[in-house]
Structure 1
Amino acid sequence: MAGQQDGEPTNYIARLSEWADSHLGLVRNISTGLAVAGVILLAKSVKLTTKFTSALEIPTEFVEKNVKLRGRLRQITEQGLEVEHVPIRFPIISSLQRRWTMDGLLLVRLAGVELTPDGSVWLKKELKPSQMMWFQLLARKDSVLDCLVVVSKGRFSSICLNEEILRQGLARTVWVEGLTHESQMYWKIHKRLLQAELKAVKRKKGLWKEATFFEKLRERIHNNKYMQRLKQFATWLRIRL
């Protein structure tokens, strides 16, 4: 009995070896499949750890799958937010991050939002220098990225700038160019934005603030045709004199 027990491990190994020899093709296919899966996983990891310095460098599949990227705010311009991409770092493949130190900023625009001048002022007050943010890719047009931008508002809370600026009545909702009308993402995004804008309308904030009596009176006087002609005559008279 003891001899049989001592020999059992050897028998198992021998049987496994025999099975592998008789199914050599299957073993090779499994090994190849695992190797290919490893290469694909590594390639995806390299993409995630690559520092993008231009919107055109971002893979098309990232835009199509609405991938979220991380970045640091550098400047607020009339065109949008200039953001330095801060990729995810994996120590195992850090040697493949050849472009980590390359310079270049991404131009990020708040998707589905048409800012007012007051909206731009609000952004400059709301966002801190070098503010970290997440931006979800929705569309790309030339060198501009249309995104949902999320920033932290404390240790456990965050806000979506696209929605918040609409809730403040400092912007209007517009269609997101680049998203197809048939996609679920298209309707999901616009539903969120319109709901945020509706809150500003109900609260009469910003754009939707009701004008006072004197503001309405001044607007009517300004638009009155008689007053406009009177101003034109005054201007003509001043030139003649």
Structure 2
Amino acid sequence: MPEQGGSSGSDRAALALARLSEWADAHLGLLRGLIAGAAVAGVLLLARSLRVTTKFINPLDIPVEFVEKNVKLRGKLHHITEKGLEIEHIPISIPFFTAIQRKWQPKGLLLIRLAGVELAPGATAWLQRELLPTQPLWFQLLGRDSSALNCLVLVHKGGFLSTCLNEELLRQGLARAARIEGLPHHSRLYWKLHKRLLRAELKAVRKKKGIWKEQSYSETLQERISSSKFLQRLKQFVRSSAER
């Protein structure tokens, strides 16, 4: 009798397992969907915690860790002004949720200053000629304040090639290498980037491009005369005589 009871229990367990297997086979698509849904939910929670899907419209909204680690963010150019580049931040998109992301993303542009360069006259006009109105680009965070970000701006040129606008302006003689605001001066990254910028500036100096182009003799003579002490005294004498 015990053997029959044991056999009956084993039969019931086997029957239950068989029915579960049949149900799993019949609802395989549902099970895959549940597993995939749980995986996507996990990815969304992770992305949200890391803020990689967040669209930034204010420099102070960007996590401190992003700035400290000099993270590169993707963007799209909208305007070029004397103050800098107005760029729309484009966060990472998650498949199947892109439309929902766009619907709830805030509207606004980030002001990007080109770090480590002092723009010369003509630099803004050059940028307006060289860049497209909706140019995709990357900007590497180096520093920030309440109104703008100090960045290296990288423009994709096809394939694996990209151009750093900061360096290109220096190579064209349209800027001077300057202090990199936002980076600690004793840091390794500061001196690495500063050397890159100085090398780009040196190329323009050697080729006499832009602001480093040699003036003609007449321009040089006129500049010296206009700045001479004799002419300044003469102008003061004329003004004092007119006032009398």
TM-score under structure 1 length normalisation? 0.75
Return the letter of the residue paired with 1:218.
Answer: Q
Task: Name the SS for the 1:97 alignment partner.
Answer: helix
Q: Who wins on radius of gyration, i.e. which is larger?
A: 2
Equivalent residue, structure 2, for 1:211: 215
1:231 has 2:229 as partner: no
* Aligned mate of 1:178, from 175, 182, 194: 182
* Aligned mate of 1:97, from 88, 97, 101: 101
1: CA distance, partners of 2:224 / 2:62: 51
1:157 CA displacement? 3.4
Equivalent residue, structure 1, for 2:47: 42
2: CA distance, partners of 1:219 / 1:140: 39
Task: Name the SS for the 1:49 alignment partner.
Answer: coil
1:18-29 equivalences in 2 (<5 Å):
none
Return the letter of the residue paired with 1:205.
Answer: K
1:64 CA displacement? 1.0
1:111 has 2:96 as partner: no
1:140 CA displacement? 1.1
* Aligned mate of 2:70, from 60, 66, 70: 66
User: After the TM superposition, which of the residue ranges 161-170 and 72-81 deviates more from structure 2?
Assistant: 72-81
1:162 CA displacement? 0.2
1:156 CA displacement? 5.6
Structure 1 runs of 4+ with >4 Å offset: 37-40, 92-96, 235-240
8 Å Cα contact 1:69-1:85 kept in structure 2: yes
1:228 CA displacement? 2.3
8 Å Cα contact 2:112-2:148 kept in structure 1: yes
CA RMSD of aligned residues (A): 2.6
The percent of aligned pairs where both chains have the same amino acid is 58
8 Å Cα contact 1:113-1:171 kept in structure 2: yes
- Give the 3 Å change call, closer, same or farther, for CA 213–43 of structure 1 in structure 2: same
- 1:29-58 Cα shifts (integer Å, max 9, x gaps): xxxxxxxx978733356x111111111111
1:129 CA displacement? 0.9
1:75 has 2:79 as partner: yes
Task: Name the SS for the 2:176 alignment partner.
Answer: strand
1:143 CA displacement? 2.2
2: CA distance, partners of 1:38 / 1:78: 41
2: CA distance, partners of 1:182 / 1:230: 50
Count of paired positions: 205
- Give the 3 Å change call, closer, same or farther, for CA 39–183 of structure 1 in structure 2: farther
1:129-140 equivalences in 2 (<5 Å):
129-140=133-144
8 Å Cα contact 1:51-1:99 kept in structure 2: no
Equivalent residue, structure 1, for 2:167: 163
Task: Name the SS for the 1:207 alignment partner.
Answer: helix
Equivalent residue, structure 1, for 2:9: none
2: CA distance, partners of 1:227 / 1:42: 68
8 Å Cα contact 2:60-2:145 kept in structure 1: no
Return the letter of the residue paired with 1:43.
Answer: R
2: CA distance, partners of 1:165 / 1:177: 17
Q: Structure 1: give runs of 5+ residues left out of the alignment.
A: 1-36
TM-score under structure 2 length normalisation? 0.75
Q: Structure 2: give runs of 5+ residues left out of the alignment.
A: 1-41
